[in-house]
């Protein structure tokens, strides 16, 4: 079975752009833009570009220090490890940044099968203020479609776990849509909601996934 997770707000309660913004004094601006996007008040792609533009000229070593602060939620590593041990394909589909996801997974000593994430280009050891990757304009239902094609899984047998407006596309097409403390605009599209990784583990056991 294919299990697709969002990262920021779901597997992690670290908000990557805010951690990056703390390095150059733009954290509050980042948080305000993020909140508007997650509540579906501004298009996700536009919000991401606005946030990344605030990072122009940030030294890459400061960016890496911010990525190194990203952490998984309590219990998230155990859920991922249990799913993979049970033979499931675990993917992280995030509008966040690959380096932050990789740092958080490494810290917990867990791996996933695929990370679909965005990147912050670097020139002369400084961030350019731009962003590239598959989940700027691309949406998570497309990413889920690619993952099911790679794994040969039936999309009706997939599970998607997310919390924000940019998770709606994958939540709407997955066989089981799980909201992790979902935003009000997202909850109606969820089959079930949980608020801790322990609850998510229990749900997977109830559904025979674990």
Residue of 6, 141, 163, 167 marked catalytic: 6
Look-up of token digits 């994958």: 170
40 is catalytic: no
Residue of 8, 141, 163, 167 marked catalytic: 8
CA max distance for the chain: 51
CA distance 156 to 2: 10
CA distance 10 to 145: 20
Nearest to 33 by CA among 164, 171, 173, 127: 164
Nearest to 56 by CA among 35, 25, 31, 33: 25
CA angle 192, 196, 201 (to 5 degrees): 70
202 is catalytic: no
Residues with a known catalytic role: 6, 8
């Amino acid at each position: 079975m294919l299990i697709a997770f969002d990262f920021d707000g779901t597997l992690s309660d670290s908000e990557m752009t805010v951690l990056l913004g703390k390095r150059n004094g733009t954290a509050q601006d980042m948080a305000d833009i993020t909140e508007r996007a997650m509540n579906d008040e501004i298009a996700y792609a536009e919000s991401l570009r606005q946030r990344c533009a605030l990072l122009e000229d940030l030294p890459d070593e400061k960016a890496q220090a911010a990525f190194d602060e990203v952490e998984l939620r309590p219990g998230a590593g155990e859920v991922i490890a249990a799913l993979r041990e049970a033979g499931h394909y675990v993917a992280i589909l995030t509008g966040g940044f690959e380096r932050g996801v990789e740092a958080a997974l490494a810290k917990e000593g867990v791996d996933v099968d695929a990370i679909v994430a965005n990147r912050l280009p670097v020139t002369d050891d400084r961030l350019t203020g731009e962003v590239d990757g598959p989940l700027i304009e691309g949406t998570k239902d497309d990413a889920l479609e690619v993952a099911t094609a790679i794994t040969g899984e039936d999309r009706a047998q997939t599970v998607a776990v997310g919390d924000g407006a940019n998770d709606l596309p994958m939540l709407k097409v997955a066989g089981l849509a799980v909201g992790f403390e979902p935003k009000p605009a997202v909850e109606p599209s969820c089959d079930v909601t949980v608020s801790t990784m322990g609850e998510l583990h229990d749900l997977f056991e109830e559904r025979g996934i674990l």
